[in-house]
Chain A
Amino acid sequence: MPYIPHTEDDLQAMLAAIGAGSVEDLFDEIPAALRAGSLDLPPALNEMEVSRLMEERAAQDGRWLNFIGAGAYEHHIPAAVWQIAGRGEYYTAYTPYQAEASQGTLQTLYEYQSMMASLTGLDVSNASLYDGASALAEAVLMAVRAHKTSRRVLAVAGLHPVWQQVVKSIVGNQGIELVTVPYCTEGGHTMADSLSAHEGQDYAALIVAQPNVFGVLEEADALTDWAQGQGMRVIAVVNPTSLGILKAPGEWGAKGADIAVGEGQPLGAPLSSGGPYFGFMACKQELVRQMPGRIVGRTVDLEGREGFTLTLQAREQHIRRSKATSNICTNQGLMVTAATIYMSLLGPDGLAKVAAASHANTRRLVEKLTAIPGVERLFSEPFFHEAVITVEPPAGEVLRALKAQGILGGLDLGEWCPELGGHAILVCATETKSEADLDRYAEHLERIIAKRSQGPACTKLKPNENSKW
């Protein structure tokens, strides 16, 4: 049996010490009628067999030239990140309740909190939440608790539509409502005019996504000033890579955003079909006791040496039970360890270069694609590292034809934004894409569109035999 160390002698000695005749006797307090029969499960595999199975499964998923972003981004992860984060001492430790035996994890989390506080321009960061979307839900709860009267939160409509759904799933049971402000159909950003309809109303917070789901940059300063002038707090939803070059939420407007949250995945977590990632959250000092999740503090030991420990635990479920700020217990410690190593390896200049190269690559991609007749950029406002293009044929058809060439050409926005009419594709080219990759996308797209304009030939395209993918 896998991972069971006992020899027959051990078993007998242990049963004798217990005074039991058999292992089965140890279950004699369980009513017999409840006992399970044999389980209908596939037979056990040894390590070699399970390796073969999993290698086949991985091979089935294949390798692709990917231009999809939309909340999860392909970045280069330095080799050192997972070689260290994967060490057993990090990988197999528990939540650091016994601080003296967990200084490695605790100091790493303290360094992480320090990095995130600085990156977001806010005072404090917690030690992570599950993912960006659920972190936003926690930020909404936090803002509502702090506001006291309003149970409504306003959001720019460019907030990721799935994140909006997640927020509703998580806060809806507490009677909290999310209201959205429409985006400008030309610019793709939120215009000041759209806000006026909400003037003078009671909202706990305004959620500003920078960049928004279309990759478009919002006028974060103006939105922040407006909301705070209305007595709302501002929740910034930001991409951590972008903060290498974009203004920190703590510096938005005259007073700065109050809470910043986001998806931490770009900082060293592989795409992995959606997880594990981590959500980050930082806030102003005045809100720290409303913050959910683990927080690590620096202190001293008996001999005055620097040390680290979980702190402000009076907010948490294991102390406060039904009155806790959240039910969160486990967070995403290992992903944060990877992110801390990632940020240390890149430093401020490296992170800025990743952000700038991603921006420049997407800009070049959009230039190449929109040079093709029938391909247009949808929104006019500047973007970070994603943009929406429109194609004459249905987006789904074009993307299928690209996929036949080993290219995942972006996300069909038809489902999230039906108002865009089924011809819009959200594209993203991070620093991982070479000039040749961009050209390859453009050449195939041009051919697909040209062929289609001669007739409905998209589905007849043959896979490219010479493709390295």
Chain B
Amino acid sequence: MLIFELSRSGRGSPALAPSAADLGDIPAECRRMSKPLLPEVSELDAVRHYTRLSQKNFSIDTQFYPLGSCTMKYNPKAAHALAMQREFLARHPLAPEDSGQGVLACLYELQEILREVTGMAGVSLTPMAGAQGEFAGVAMIRAYHESRGDAARREIIVPDAAHGTNPATATMCGYAVKEIPTDADGNVDLEALKAAVGPQTAGLMLTNPSTLGVFEQQIRAIQQIVHEAGGLTYYDGANLNAILGKVRPGDMGFDVIHVNLHKTFATPHGGGGPGSGPVGVSERLLPFLPVPMVGRDGNSYRWLTEKDRPQSIGRLSAHMGNTGVLLRAYVYARMLGGEGMKRVADMATLNANYLMAQLKAAGFDVTFGRRRASHEFIVSLKGLKEKTGVSAMDVAKRLLDKGFHAPTTYFPLLVPECLLIEPTETETKQTLDGFVAALTEIRDEAERDAALVKGAPYTTPVRRLDDVKAAREPDLAWKAA
């Protein structure tokens, strides 16, 4: 049932709106002629409708949610409650700085915390998501080369295991993309990298630990190859949770990085955002950081803008980006402290390696089983598919029936029939054991009765959806009959 189908002309929630007022001198040709199709429902109708809809979601608060590369860890309630204080919520973004010293202090300290944790020379918090952080990073690489009059660098190198946002970002920054392959152990193919670099190389984008769930062991050689060719290196922080406080991207030699606060710093994913993707840079890229940033003069804080930072790549949003998300990350960081952060990486890695060991012991094909898992790892169901016809997607759907959200499926694209599994540090051993039992059970089901698994899920609000119909006959907005 759609909210529109509950609507009855003349029904509403009058107590929520102000009294009627006249439109004064607004010219007739500027006025709306017909009512928009917003629902006319009572407050209770709306409350019940959206509460019931919420109950159709799997979420971290209700299920184990081991999506690889997404870091679905517990989102602390305290961070939410403290960011939702009235003074923070009511503060206008253009209000004078002296009426915002509380929030500015939090942002300034978060900049400093992220600088320390990443080992970079400076941080800007303003990008509103990981992909916008990537954009800021590559735009800074471009600004750096251009500031040196080096206009010949037109290419960004991206390993084939990278997230799709990496090549898409390079394009948005006006660069061509060159993909390089991965070797059998999941590392970047060094020979291919050597062959790819040259005077046309603007930079390399790298995720480490990679999307294959392993630490790139030749990171120093990679840095050397790219830097000697005059390129810069970009660290995609998607998998920072695995090494938080243990290895710093700055110490690995990266020139620019982004951090996904909605992964590593436990801010919520919200059904697809808001995220937050602060960027950090090495010394030589400092002048190019996006604005606004927060500066401190003695005991007072102020915005740093284009005036303070004339070489900045500029603004990426009308204001500061997702300030409320930044406050949540700040609360989380303060609750962890330095040791707590290392502990996150320790336990995220322990959970991933434990889960990998248990699944290996249960006979699953772990793709890089010779390697240590970072905070995530890959299981390939190619063997199961060949034997029973049951695919990774079928297994993912059957997991929903067992009360678990599915891992990431069919990513990275390099491994056939793969599940990318990231348990995070906030899950108990009991939950992980339950997940192993569920996967084992599904494999048994597949061998016994493949059709059962291929028909899954059965217990969710809907069964498998017709994606082809959705794309061929797009129904993207409800219309009154």
A335 sits at the interface (CB 8 A): yes
Given that A61-B102, A221-B29, A275-B322 are known contacts, is A113 also in contact with B167, CB under 8 Å in the complex? no
Ranked nearest first, the 8 interchain pairs of A and B with the lowest CB-CB distance are A274-B319, A88-B61, A334-B270, A44-B337, A169-B314, A333-B272, A274-B93, A39-B338
In the bound assembly, the distance between CA atoms of A101 and B476 in angstroms comes to: 20
Q: Which residue of chain B has the shortest Cβ distance to A170 in the bound complex? A: B316
B188 at the interface (CB under 8 A from A): no
User: Contacts A86-B80, A108-B50, A169-B139 hold; do A30 and B215 have CB atoms under 8 A apart?
Assistant: yes
Contact partner, A110, options B252, B273, B478, Cβ 8 Å: B478
Q: Which residues of A contact B349 (CB under 8 A)?
A: 23, 26-27
With A61-B100, A87-B54 known, 11 other A-B pairs at CB within 8 A are: A34-B251, A101-B406, A104-B54, A119-B36, A123-B477, A278-B273, A297-B471, A308-B465, A327-B135, A350-B12, A359-B21
Contact in complex: B16, A247 (CB < 8 Å): no
**CB closest chain-B residue, reference A40:** B116
Max chain A Cβ within 10 angstroms of own Cβ: one of B72, B325, B338:
B338
Q: List 23 A-B contacts (CB under 8 A).
A: A3-B74, A6-B429, A38-B338, A50-B334, A61-B103, A64-B99, A94-B405, A96-B272, A98-B405, A108-B271, A119-B38, A134-B128, A169-B290, A245-B31, A248-B36, A272-B324, A301-B462, A301-B464, A302-B464, A318-B165, A330-B131, A344-B49, A351-B36
A107 x B53 contact (CB < 8 A): yes
- Whether A111 sits at the interface, judged by CB under 8 Å, is yes
Which residues of chain A have C-beta atoms less than 8 A from B62's C-beta?
A: 88-89
B397 within 8 A of A: yes
Most buried by A among B54, B214, B429, B460: B54
Task: Decide: A1 and B26 in contact? CB cutoff 8 A.
Answer: no
CB of A158 to closest CB in B, whole Å: 15
> Are the C-beta atoms of A111 and B273 separated by less than 8 Å?
no
B residues in contact with A20, CB < 8 Å: 353
Q: Is B207 at the interface (CB under 8 A from chain A)? A: no
B346 within 8 A of A: yes
Of A87, A111, A327, the contact of B4 (CB 8 Å cutoff): A111
A360 CA to B18 CA, complexed, in Å: 11
List the B side residues contacting A295 at CB < 8 Å: 476
Flag whether B388 is at the interface (Cβ < 8 A): no
Interface stretch (choices B171-179, B190-198, B279-287, B437-445): B171-179
Q: Which residues in window 341-366 of B have CB below 8 A to A? A: 341-344, 346-347, 349-351, 353-354, 357-358, 361
Cα A356 to Cα B32 in complex, Å, equals 12
Distance between Cα atoms of A335 and B323 in the complex (Å): 13
- The answer to whether B246 and A332 touch across the interface, beta carbons within 8 angstroms, is no
- Residue pairs across A and B with CB atoms within 8 Å: the count is 683
Judged by a CB distance under 8 angstroms, whether A95 is at the interface is yes
Tell me whether B147 is interfacial, beta carbon within 8 Å. no
**Which of B139, B324, B339, B477 contacts A114, CB < 8 Å?**
B477
Contacts of A89 in B (CB 8 A): 54-55, 57, 59, 61-62
CB distance from B205 to the nearest CB of A (A): 11
The residue on B at minimum CB distance from A382 is B25
Chain B residues whose CB sits within 8 angstroms of the CB of A45 once the complex forms:
334-335, 337
- How many residues of chain B have a CB within 8 Å of chain A? 200
B149 at the interface (CB under 8 A from A): no
| A100 to B453 Cα, complex, angstroms | 15
Which residues from chain A contact B397 at a C-beta distance below 8 Å?
A: 98, 100
A175: B residues at CB distance < 8 A:
174
Measured between C-beta atoms, what is the minimum distance from A177 to chain B in Å? 13
Residues of B within 8 A of A297 (CB): 470-471, 474-476
In residues 275-305 of chain B, which contact A (Cβ within 8 Å)? 275, 290
How distant is the Cα of A5 from the Cα of B348 in the complex, in angstroms?
A: 11
How far apart are the CA atoms of A351 and B12 in the complex, in Å? 11
Contact, CB under 8 Å: B168 / A356: no
Q: Are A324 and B171 in contact (CB under 8 A)?
A: yes
CA distance A314 to B134 in the complex (A): 21
Q: Is B35 an interface residue (CB 8 A)?
A: yes
Let me know if A92 and B268 touch, CB within 8 A: yes
Beta-carbon contacts under 8 Å, B102-136 to A: 102-103, 105-106, 109, 113, 116-117, 119, 128-132, 134-135
Instruction: List chain A residues, Cβ under 8 A from B80.
Output: 86, 91
Q: Kindly state the separation between the CA atoms of A168 and B306 in the bound complex, as whole angstroms.
A: 13
Query: Which residues in B have their C-beta under 8 angstroms from that of A30?
Result: 215, 217, 243, 246-247
Indicate if A36 sits at the interface (CB-CB under 8 A).
yes
CB of A312 within 8 Å of the partner chain = yes
Q: Min CB distance, B142 to chain A, in Å?
A: 6
Q: Which of B15-42 contact A (CB under 8 A)?
A: 16-27, 29-33, 35-41
CB distance from B239 to the nearest CB of A (A): 13
Indicate with 1 or 0, residue by residue over A26-67, a CB within 8 angstroms of chain B CB atoms.
111111001110111111111100110111111111111010
Q: Does A153 contact B (CB under 8 A)?
A: no
CB–CB B92/A58 < 8 A: no
Does B426 sit within 8 A of A, measured CB to CB?
yes
Chain A residues near B59 (CB-CB < 8 A): 88-93
A74 contacts partner chain B, Cβ-Cβ < 8 Å: yes
- Of A61, A134, A334, the residue contacting B317 (CB under 8 A) is A134
Are A131 and B116 in contact, with the CB atoms below 8 A? Answer: no
Contact between chains at B168 and A108 (CB < 8 Å): no
CB pair A345 B43 closer than 8 Å? yes
Quick check: B319 and A334 within 8 Å, CB to CB?
A: no
Give the CA-CA distance A134 to B469 in the complex, in Å. Answer: 31
| Residue on B nearest A116 in the bound complex, by CB | B477
Stretch in A11-19, A195-203, A446-454, A455-463 with 4+ CB within 8 Å of B: A11-19
Q: Within the assembled complex, what's the spacing in Å between the Cα atoms of A357 and B22?
A: 8
Minimal beta-carbon separation of A257 from chain B (angstroms): 14
| Chain A nearest CB, measured from B301 CB (Å) | 10
Indicate whether A328 reaches chain B with its CB closer than 8 angstroms: yes
**Assuming A72-B94, A90-B57, is B36 touching A276 (CB within 8 A)?**
no
Q: Mark B252-282, 1 if CB is under 8 A from A, else 0.
A: 1000000000100010111111110000000
The 8 Å CB contact of B65, one of A1, A57, A94, A127, is: A94
Q: Which residue of B lies closest to A431 (CB)?
A: B18
Contact between chains at A125 and B477 (CB < 8 Å): yes
User: Of B102, B165, B353, which contacts A56 at CB under 8 A?
Assistant: B102
Question: B26: which of A88, A245, A318 is its contact (CB, 8 Å)?
Answer: A245
- Given A119-B38, A217-B26, A408-B95, is A93 in contact with B314 using a C-beta cutoff of 8 Å? no
Task: Write out the residue numbers on chain B whose beta carbons fall within 8 Å of the beta carbon of A288.
Answer: 474, 476
In the complex, are the beta carbons of B164 and A271 less than 8 A apart? Answer: no
Residue of A nearest to B109 (CB): A42
B19 touches A353 (CB 8 A): yes
Query: Given the complex of chains A and B, what is the CA–CA distance between A453 and B106 in angstroms?
Result: 41
* B20 surroundings in chain A (CB, below 8 A): 353, 356-357
User: B274–A35 contact, CB under 8 A?
Assistant: no
| Chain B residues closer than 8 Å to A148, beta-carbon distance | none
For the complex, is A124 an interface residue (Cβ under 8 Å from B)? Answer: yes
